[in-house]
Amino acid sequence: TASIDASQPPNLLAAGGASGAWSADGTWFAFAKDGCLTDDYDIYAVRSEGGAIVRLTDSPHVLKESAGWSPVANQIAYSALLEDSQGLLLLDANTMELRTLLTSTRDFHIHGPRWSPDGRYISFSGGGGHGAC
């Protein structure tokens, strides 16, 4: 991260971070990051002033373009491959409670969840795979 007035040196994340999102109060930054020895992603968070990176999920199937932090609550929406489908999941960053909001077939990809400004809706990109239109 970098301050827009360049008054502070940038905070750098370890290699492998993707798809970041700020918490509503600006104190946390969530992002997807792959494992050191694998391409499996999980959702992590770090305080805006820096410090230790906290792992929020423990799933080998989080999609890297998927972290979206609610603008009004401490919840993170993300997409992941499930056992026989793909899902849009909601993680409460306070309680670590996980809910599945919707599922689709594995051939319909859910990407990039984004919250409405009031936190009532989540939009996402989706599309077919393997030659589907």
pLDDT digits (tens, 9 = 90+) for 81-90: 787 888 898 9
pLDDT at res. 70: 92
pLDDT at res. 101: 92
Could you tell me how far CA 25 lies from the centroid of its own chain? 17
pTM, two decimals, is 0.76
Assign 119 a pLDDT band (cuts: 50, 70, 90). very high
Closest-CA residue to 45 (of 9, 21, 16)? 21
Domains of the chain: 17-128 (2.120.10.30)
Cα–Cα separations (whole angstroms), residue 129 to 81, 97, 105, 106, 113: 13, 30, 10, 8, 18
pLDDT digits (tens, 9 = 90+) for 49-73: 888 888 888 876 777 666 788 998 8
Average pLDDT of the chain? 79
